[in-house]
Amino acid sequence: MKADINKVSVEAKKDILELEQKINDFKDGKIIEDKFKHFRLTRGVYGQRQTGVQMFRIKVPFGKLTSEQLVRMADISERFTNGNLHLTTRQNIQMHHVKLEDSPEIWTLLEEKNITAREACGNTVRNLTGSANAGIDPDEPFDISPYVYASFQYFLRNPICQDMGRKIKPAFSSSDKDSAFTYFHDFGFIPKIKQVDGKEVRGFKVVVGGGLGAQAIVAQTAYEFLEENKIIPFMEACLRVFDRYGERVKRQKARMKFLVKKLGLDGFMELVEAERKALKNHTVEIDTSLVPESVPAPEKEVPSVEISDQEKYDKWLKTNIFEQKQKGFYALQIKVLLGDIHAEKARKLAALVKEWAADDIRITINQGFLLKFIRKEALPYLFVKLDELGLAEPGFGSTADITACPGTDTCNLAVTNSTGLTEVLEQVIKDEYPDLIEERNIQIKISGCMNACGQHMAANIGFHGSSIRHDGLVAPAMQVVLGGGVDPNGQGFIAEKVIKVPTKRTPDVIRTVLEDYYAKSTEGEYFNDYYYRQGKRYFYDILKPLGDKKNLVENDYQDWGQEETYKQEIGVGECAGVSYDVVAAIIDEANEKLSLSEEAFSLNSFADSIYHTYSSLVIGAKALLLSKDVLCNTQKGIIEDFDTHYVTTNEIKLDSSFADLTLQIKKNEPSEDFAKQYLAQANAFMDKVLAIRAMQLIQNGKDKTVIGNHYKA
């Protein structure tokens, strides 16, 4: 398996060669670490807890893979990593323990099979997720898959979302049941159909400004119905607003949910509307053939098998199999413990898919797989073969199917071990509450820290890593959260924080909560209804003995899977905006944006050229503001402050205000004439910036180092 850069697309080739060059420049000391970090993140290369190795994240739109793509990933993981593929709650695949210098070759091998790593990390539009059962869901108005893929294509490498203050996460659900959890995403889309003049019109309910993390917020409804050809322009307009008005210095306040909350939904939507004239496209028609319809494997004789464990098989049929909207065909859902599958096992799974299912594997948001278009007569054979691989455990999507991030196994930000705890809790459910293997309305989710990669705030029973101090020692702990998730009617709930307990007592939290639910809930009462009826204080009281620090024992000072005493080690996350340490570096960045603008203009990509021009103006102004120690935390603030500190003082002479110059972007359609004029104005502005900076250097004698937190806008 030798990578061939000439087998990939022109765009991917440019990306990969640029990554290779940047790695060499970084190693040679030509690029400072923070600037290189910003670059590699948007290419899927993310630092992990262990020194000298990286996590390589693959961007898999709505989790769709072919068997050939899965095999390629398996081969790569075996050659370059520890052989493990990790399925994430974002329907991505991650490989850990990757050497930095191997990442260009890994990416090339992926691109040969039409798989990208571009914008899998960093402050960009991240992977677009979608219901895994899209296309076969009996409740769906129509298949959302081509809409997700069209959105993915539109924003990939799009200049409006390359340098935002924080990441953006969109999600598409296949029906009102909201199986993609749109309510906690920056953008959420639920398909709708309405009749207009006797014709069927497709569209989406659109929600914005949701998110999990330390401050979880439920998304608000922007449209009850937005026509299908307007969803991409709407997202673009929102991203332009987020880029200009969003916070960049205070990372904990930099997500779109906080901007929507600050402005109010009406205020946010007014700004979105003001961007419409400048949009690249006012409508974007969706080619529904972008994602071809799945084709079942050829019908053939199924080998006879003997079911050795009939009870397990019956449970598997009940919990992991459902009939598709295409009658006579079945979907098979595979529970994958911790989302980890070894390369050899993945290859064998791919072979089964090719033989017995449609070549359309979907990664699910609970870290499993979904296979499509399986004939009923093949189910016994597939059960036996999957059981041999350890992939036929009943209870997919049930209480016994616990979602968990990697925690302290690999993550810099993690406080506690998620994986060891998950294995223990799944065993508790299996041994003590076997009926819950068939229960889908109580979900358990675990994150290693408050950042919610394990989606704990969207769980009926959730946990996130924390710590407890007592008598000068630190014990690993879990913050218990209750009452989150999507109810059977599709309504989304954010969990409430109840109490913090030592992590070794987490199994007893599960036992206490479940026993109380069994004893005191009414017949058929949904868990969240029961939780909110009893109230947060009630659950605090029944769990309080487990949180008591006075009776800690030696075992409580050890994390799951660890023999040594717990030592809290929290690294620095890599999703935040990054900094450059001298004003000259920021001016260089402004010039880079001008070069990109000129390149886009030469390719007749006028809208892209205009946005690069806008970025160069803002960054150039930022450089001069920082030379005066003016805090730069939003683009809007930079534009206003530059007028205050440079234009009104006549230190720089412009034909108009700086605000008038820069904000032409939202007052003009993206025509060739405007793109040309705007670029010329930006070049003239940059000449003035360089002249002023030269004068400052003469006066000061050396370049100025600025505080990193001052210039992330």
DSSP-assigned letters across all residues of 331-392: EEEE--GGGEEEHHHHHHHHHHHHHHS-S-EEE-TTS-EEEEEEEGGGHHHHHHHHHHTT--
511 contact partners, CB below 8 Å, separation of at least 6: 428, 432
- 117, 158 contact by CB (below 8 A): no
The residue ranges of every structural domain in the chain are 5-70+87-111, 137-278, 310-388, 403-557, 583-710
Query: Residue 548: what pLDDT?
Result: 93
Parallel/antiparallel/unpaired status of strands 321-323 and 329-334: antiparallel
Query: Residue 713: what pLDDT?
Result: 52
| Cα 213 from Cα 432, distance rounded (Å) | 31
Query: Residue 573: what pLDDT?
Result: 55
92-119 burial string, b = 16+ CB within 10 Å, else e? Answer: bbbbbbbebebbbbbbbbbbbbebbbbb
Query: Residue 574: what pLDDT?
Result: 60
| Cα 185 from Cα 178, distance rounded (Å) | 12
Pair of tokens at residue 46: 């993310």
Supply angle C-alpha 26, 29, 31, rounded to 5.
Answer: 55
Give the residues of the chain that fall short of pLDDT 50.
Answer: 576-581, 707, 709-711
Tally of CB atoms within 10 A around 26: 18
Exposed, middle or buried, 343 (CB in 10 Å: 0-12/13-18/19+)?
A: buried
What is the DSSP code string of 436-488? GGG--S--EEEESSTT-TT-GGGSSEEEEEEEEEETTEEEEEEEEEES-EE-T
Please give the single-letter amino acid code of residue 429.
I
Instruction: List, in sequence order, the alpha helices (H) in 28-125.
Output: 33-41, 67-80, 103-111
CATH 3.90.480.10 fits 310-388, yes or no: yes
Q: Dump strand ranges (E) for 259-359.
A: 321-323, 329-334, 340-342
Query: Residue 579: what pLDDT?
Result: 42
- 439, 398 contact by CB (below 8 A): yes
At the second CATH level, the architecture of 137-278 is: 2-Layer Sandwich (3.30)
Beta bridge partners of 203: 192, 227
Task: Give tens-digit pLDDT for 117-145.
Answer: 999 999 999 999 999 999 999 999 999 99
- 661, 668 contact by CB (below 8 A): no
- Taking the model in full, what pTM does it have? 0.94
- 363, 63 contact by CB (below 8 A): yes
| Cα 621 from Cα 659, distance rounded (Å) | 11
Query: Residue 214: what pLDDT?
Result: 83
Helix (H, G, I), strand (E, B) or coil at 600: helix
Parallel/antiparallel/unpaired status of strands 444-447 and 403-404: parallel
Please give the single-letter amino acid code of residue 93.
I
Instruction: State in words which class domain 5-70+87-111 has.
Output: alpha beta
Topology classification of domain 403-557: Sulfite Reductase Hemoprotein; domain 1 (3.30.413)
Please give the single-letter amino acid code of residue 14.
K
| Cα 685 from Cα 596, distance rounded (Å) | 16
Exposed, middle or buried, 278 (CB in 10 Å: 0-12/13-18/19+)?
A: buried
| Cα 557 from Cα 504, distance rounded (Å) | 9
Please give the single-letter amino acid code of residue 9.
S
Pair of tokens at residue 379: 């189910």
Helix (H, G, I), strand (E, B) or coil at 136: coil
Supply angle C-alpha 539, 542, 546, rounded to 5.
Answer: 110
Please give the single-letter amino acid code of residue 60.
V
Supply angle C-alpha 88, 213, 481, rounded to 5.
Answer: 95
Query: Residue 706: what pLDDT?
Result: 56
The CATH number given to 583-710 is 1.20.120
Let me know if the fold of 310-388 is the same as that of 403-557. no
Task: Give tens-digit pLDDT for 26-64.
Answer: 999 988 887 888 889 999 999 888 888 999 999 999 999
Give whole-number Cα distances, 557 to 439, 450, 549, in Å.
33, 20, 11
